[in-house]
Structure 1
């Protein structure tokens, strides 16, 4: 059984229409669930576009570890970028670091 749900978003002055098989939850809950799912989709799109993240593990635990490691790496690069007051984009810094992983050049020299 499918259910058509209409939800009016006052803030955006827009109606959203969802198709769901959940018949025991309110239209607001359906809208919030879809919104949360969309945020997850956007996050993974961002990961793929900006970090070239490839996921090797297939278990939930491996997946979580890879996500956490990716987020930690991103945060560390942004901290270094801000501390060094780099004019380069975060993407450029990642590109430089990714081709210099085994290089022993000083980080300041490498990024200047």
Structure 2
């Protein structure tokens, strides 16, 4: 017999990072919940986040997901009342977007203040390195041949994590080595895959 789930759901763990007090301040600033009975601005934001993170393609698809998780809805942070498609559509159409906009800017500001430099407590420069092959048509770009029937170039980007800007970029033939362009010794490199 499988053990019963004892911890918080992942979605409720994610929304725990959202500053509820700050969000409520923005709602008050624009008189958001003035005539709202049960589907608050917070419920609307969380419902849309649930849809976005769950890769829902429409409000109907989102409604199906809510119905599938109806028993868990309260524990996911979405409230006790069932969320109707028309309620969500009306809220999305008529409610003040500035509340969500201001809160998004607040969250971006918070994220910048707690950026990677505070997480990686390692001396030296920190870089993230990524490469991608960009496919090209051999008929149009015959110089970009890297396989018998394929063409392309390789784009390399070295991103300075602390400064949050690219430190180096290079677009070249696929088989050329880029290692001679990497930063000096005594730095941390993260290779993205």
TM exceeding 0.5: no
TM-score range normalised by the length of the shorter chain? 0.3 to 0.5
Task: Point out the structure with the larger helix share.
Answer: 1
Task: Point out the structure with the larger strand share.
Answer: 2
Larger radius of gyration: 2
Q: TM-score, normalised by structure 1?
A: 0.33
